Chains A and B, each alone.
Chain A
Amino acid sequence: MGFKLKIEGQENIELGVKSIETVKFLTDTPDDSNARSTDLGTSIIVTGKILAAVGGENSDGTMKIATWSLVPAEKADCYRKLTVEVIAADEVVRKLSFPNAFVVDYTETYGDEEGVGSFYLHMKQKKDQLPTIKVEGGYSAKN
């Protein structure tokens, strides 16, 4: 399956099929609650490759993610619109939209034996904006 990641804010970040390796969608409430809890957290975790621009290509958008992860909480730009599409066999299996996503954790790893780096990006929807999350899918990707 392939993935498309789009982050829209003051700048747009797009990562495609070549960069992204795994996507994880997660809703989490306290495991010890006796009934449905209002303490709901919804995350998306994306991992992938940091591709070096070879042969005059443009560099990928991962550097913009690194700078986004540094935006302080006082600025409105720390919340951005996140869209992740999971595509398999010409079908959009999931389209997850988080209109007010912020970075929880961001990691970049590089090694001397590898040609590409790898990143780990954990994002969460702002808690008071949880009802604006959209989960869609099950339609053709051809349009």
Chain B
Amino acid sequence: MGFNVKIEGNETIDLKKASIKTVLFKTDTPDDSNARSTDLGVTITISGKILAAVGGDNTDDTMKMATWSLVPAEKADCYRKVTVEVIAADQMVRKFSFPNAFVVDYTENYGDTEGTGTFELIVKQKKDKLPDVKIEGGYKA
């Protein structure tokens, strides 16, 4: 399957199928709760490759994710709109929209035996905006 990730804020970050390897969508409530908890957290984890621009290509947008992860909480720009599309066999399996997502963790890994780096981005929807999270899918891409 392939993935498209779009992050919209003061700048637009577009990540394409060539760079994204895995997407993990997670809703989490306390495991020890006796009934449905109001303490709900919704997270998307995206991992992928950091591609070096070879042969005059444009560099990928991963660097903008690194700078986004550094935006302090005082600025409105730390919340951005994240859209993740999961596409398989011309079908839109899932389309996740997080209109007020913020970065929980961001990691970049590089090794001397590899030609590309890897990244992991964990974003969460702002808790008071949870009803705005949209999950669609099951239609033709």
**Is B127 a contact partner of A34 (Cβ separation < 8 A)?**
yes
Tell whether A32 pairs with B52 under 8 Å between CB atoms, given A26-B106, A27-B103: no
A119 to chain B, nearest CB (A): 14
Give complex CA distance A133, B106 in Å: 15
**Is B106 a contact partner of A27 (Cβ separation < 8 A)?**
yes
**Is B112 a contact partner of A29 (Cβ separation < 8 A)?**
no
Could you give, for residues 38-80 of chain B, a 1 whenever the CB lies within 8 Å of some chain A CB and a 0 otherwise? 0001000000001011100001000100110110111000110
B109 within 8 A of A: yes
**Is B70 a contact partner of A33 (Cβ separation < 8 A)?**
no
Residues of A in contact (CB 8 Å), total 38
Assign chain B's interface to a size class.
35 or more
**Is A138 a contact partner of B116 (Cβ separation < 8 A)?**
no
Q: Taking CB as reference atom, which chain B residue is nearest A87?
A: B52
Could you tell me which residues of chain A, from 70 to 89, have a CB within 8 Å of some CB in chain B?
86, 88-89
Give complex CA distance A5, B62 in Å: 21
B137 within 8 A of A: no
A38 within 8 A of B: yes
Could you tell me which residues of chain B, from 16 to 34, have a CB within 8 Å of some CB in chain A?
none
B9 to chain A, nearest CB (A): 12
**Is B54 a contact partner of A38 (Cβ separation < 8 A)?**
no
B114 within 8 A of A: yes
A139 to chain B, nearest CB (A): 8
B98 within 8 A of A: no
Contacts of A89 in B (CB 8 A): 52, 54, 115
**Is B63 a contact partner of A138 (Cβ separation < 8 A)?**
yes
List residues of chain B with CB under 8 Å of any chain A CB.
41, 50, 52-54, 59, 63, 66-67, 69-70, 72-74, 78-79, 102-112, 114-117, 122, 124, 126-128
9 further A-B pairs in the complex, CB-CB below 8 A; given A17-B112, A35-B128? A24-B110, A27-B106, A29-B105, A30-B104, A34-B128, A40-B70, A42-B70, A94-B66, A94-B117
16 A-B pairs within 8 Å (CB atoms) are namely A17-B112, A25-B107, A27-B66, A27-B69, A27-B105, A27-B107, A29-B103, A34-B126, A34-B128, A36-B78, A38-B74, A40-B73, A88-B116, A94-B66, A130-B72, A135-B67
